Amino acid sequence: MSNRRQFLKRIPIVAAAGAIGMAGLARAANPMVAETDPQAAALGYKADTAKVDQAKYPKHTPDQHCGNCALYQGGTAAQGGCPLFAGKDVANKGWCSAWAKKA
């Protein structure tokens, strides 16, 4: 009977660990968007905001980056999703011309 109790006590722990592991796997599945991707190129995406062409994008400022854009879905992570690049991640320190200040 004690084996059954031990087993029943471990079920929530094992289930939680499995869910956490699966979430990590799902998150790691998205590739980074390439600067040469047609959509990225059309929006002037750069993986490093410091490399943005100021002459071509005069409204860009060095403090603008994906991490503080309203569209960025990665929180504080180094990379995260963006609805403009479905299925691909952008760099937190990246930038594109669709940048909009996070509220």
Per-residue pLDDT at 16: 56
- 32-49: pLDDT as tens digits: 999 999 999 999 999 999
Q: Which pLDDT value is given to residue 12?
A: 65
Average pLDDT in the chain: 87
> In whole angstroms, how far apart are CA 99 and each of 6, 15, 18, 23, 56?
53, 39, 36, 28, 15
- Read off the pTM: 0.72
Region 72-101: mean pLDDT is 97
Residues with Cβ within 8 Å of 93's Cβ and at least 6 positions away in sequence, in order, are: 47, 48, 49, 65, 66, 67, 78
Q: Which of 81, 44, 50, 43 is nearest to 65 (CA)?
A: 50
Q: What is the mean pLDDT of residues 75-84?
A: 97
- 12 alpha carbon, distance to own chain's centre: 29
Q: How many residues does the chain have?
A: 103
